[in-house]
Amino acid sequence: MSSGSHTEQRVFPALSIGNTAVALQTTAGEWTYSDLHERVNKMASGLLEGKTDLKEERIALLIPGGVDYVTTLLGIWRAGGIAVPLNVAGALPELEHALTCAQVTRLVACLSLDTDQIVALHILCQALKIELLTVAETLADGVGKLPVIAPERRAMILFTSGTTNKPKGVVSTHRNIRAQVTTLLEAWGWQAKDSIPLFLPLHHIHGIINILCCGLWTGARVAIFPRFDMDQVMTQVRLRKYTLFMAVPTIYVKIIQYLEALDAGKREAITSAFKIMRLNVSGSAACPVKLFNQWKALTGQTLLERYGMTEIGMGISNPYLGERRAGAVGVPLKGVEVALFDDAGAVIAQDDVPGEIRVRGDTVFLEYWNNPAATAESFVDGWFCTGDVAVREKGYYRIMGRSSVDIIKSGGYKLSALEIEGTLLTHEKIAECAVAGIDDDTWGEAVTAFVVLKPGQSLTLPELKAWCESRMSPYKIPKTLRVLDAMPRNAMGKVIKPDLKRL
pLDDT digits 0-9 by tens, 143-181:
999 999 999 999 999 997 643 457 899 999 999 999 999
346 CA to centre of own chain: 31
CA distance linking residue 21 with residue 36, whole number of Å: 11
Distances (CA, A) of 121 to 93, 100, 113: 11, 13, 10
- What is the per-residue pLDDT for 164? 41
Question: SS3 sequence, 180-219?
Answer: HHHHHHHHCCCCCCCEEEECCCCCCHHHHHHHHHHHHHHC
SS3 239: coil
Q: What is the pLDDT along the chain (503 residues), one digit of tens a residue?
A: 333 333 345 568 899 989 999 999 998 899 999 999 999 999 999 999 999 999 999 999 999 999 999 999 999 999 999 999 999 988 899 999 999 999 999 999 997 767 777 889 999 999 999 999 999 999 999 999 999 999 999 999 999 764 345 789 999 999 999 999 999 999 999 999 999 999 999 999 999 999 999 999 999 999 999 999 999 999 999 999 999 999 998 899 999 999 999 999 999 999 999 999 999 999 987 888 889 999 999 999 999 999 999 999 999 999 999 999 999 999 999 999 999 999 899 999 999 998 999 999 999 999 999 999 999 999 999 999 999 889 999 999 998 767 667 778 888 887 878 789 889 989 999 988 999 999 888 888 999 999 999 999 999 999 999 999 999 999 999 999 999 999 887 644 568 888 888 88
pLDDT tens digits, 316-330? 999 999 999 999 999
Q: Comparing C-alpha atoms, which of 336, 339, 285, 292 is closest to residue 313?
A: 336
Q: Which residues pair with 453 in a beta bridge?
A: 430
Instruction: Please give the Cα distance from 84 to 62 (Å, whole number).
Output: 9
Q: How far apart are CA 372 and CA 73, in angstroms?
A: 26
pLDDT at 267: 98
Going from the N-terminus, what domains does the chain have, and what CATH number goes with each? 22-198 (3.40.50.12780), 407-502 (3.30.300.30)
**Structure confidence at residue 401 (pLDDT):** 67
Cα separation, 411 vs 475, in Å, equals 8
What secondary structure does DSSP assign to 112-170, as a single string? Answer: TS-HHHHHHHHHHHHHHT-EEE-HHHHS-SS----PPPPTTSEEEEEEE--SSSS-EEE
Task: Report which DSSP code applies to 469.
Answer: T
Three-state SS at 248: coil
- CA 364/CA 351 separation, integer angstroms: 25
